[in-house]
């Protein structure tokens, strides 16, 4: 199993960041790769909540919350994705650093397809690509909270409709 972790010190109170993260259907507001996201079923957060993320490149994936600690973090299982992976999970963890400051950590763990070749591809190509994507998510979240604007393709800020 491979993993990629990105951390970002946020200039917002942990409760503010948590409110945005916990709005599970609204990942499109801060993830620069996600064009739209929809809930699947009636559950909007907590263990068992599901969403579909539709990306700007035309691909999509499903995400299901598998562990959940209110105001602290959650783990998401990814499925039905176009990447050459057998499995993938992402874990979001939030730590307060005092008033108006917190640390967000996102860890993506994944198992690539294609045996030893997949392992090499993961080390050389996928890990750097995924680290860049996770860095974009943390920056997008920070920008969205700071400005109230949507984060569009590539991280550009858009006006809320």
Give, as one character, the DSSP assignment of residue 149.
P
pLDDT band for position 63 (cuts 50, 70, 90): very high
Once rounded to an integer, what is the mean pLDDT over residues 90-98? 97
pLDDT digits (tens, 9 = 90+) for 137-150: 999 999 999 999 99
Q: What are the percentages of helix, strand and coil residues in the chain, rounded to 5?
A: 30, 40, 25
Once rounded to an integer, what is the mean pLDDT over residues 95-112? 96
pLDDT at 161 over 70: no
Predicted pLDDT at 135 = 97
Q: Phi first, then psi: what are they for 132, rounded to 5°? A: -60, -40
How far is 45 from 22, CA to CA, in rounded Å?
6
How far is 130 from 2, CA to CA, in rounded Å?
11
pLDDT band for position 160 (cuts 50, 70, 90): low
Closest of 119, 116, 136, 115 to residue 127, by C-alpha: 119
Percent of the chain topping pLDDT 70: 99
pLDDT digits (tens, 9 = 90+) for 17-34: 999 999 999 999 999 999
Average pLDDT of every residue of the chain: 95
Helices (H), 38-152: 115-121, 127-147
């Amino acid at each position: 199993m491979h993993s990629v972790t990105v951390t970002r010190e946020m200039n917002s109170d942990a409760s503010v960041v948590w409110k945005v993260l916990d709005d599970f259907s609204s990942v499109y507001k801060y993830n620069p790769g996600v064009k739209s996201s929809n809930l699947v079923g009636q559950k909007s957060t907590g263990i068992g909540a599901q969403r579909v993320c539709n990306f700007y490149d035309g691909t999509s994936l499903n995400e299901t919350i598998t562990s959940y600690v209110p105001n602290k973090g959650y783990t998401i299982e990814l499925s039905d994705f176009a990447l050459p992976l057998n499995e993938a999970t992402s874990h979001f963890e939030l730590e307060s650093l005092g008033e108006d400051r917190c640390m967000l950590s996102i860890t993506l763990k994944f198992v690539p397809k294609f045996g030893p070749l997949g392992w090499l591809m993961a080390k050389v190509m996928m890990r750097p690509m995924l680290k860049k994507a996770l860095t974009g998510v943390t920056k997008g979240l920070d920008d969205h909270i700071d400005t109230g604007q949507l984060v569009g393709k590539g991280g550009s800020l858009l006006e809320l409709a």
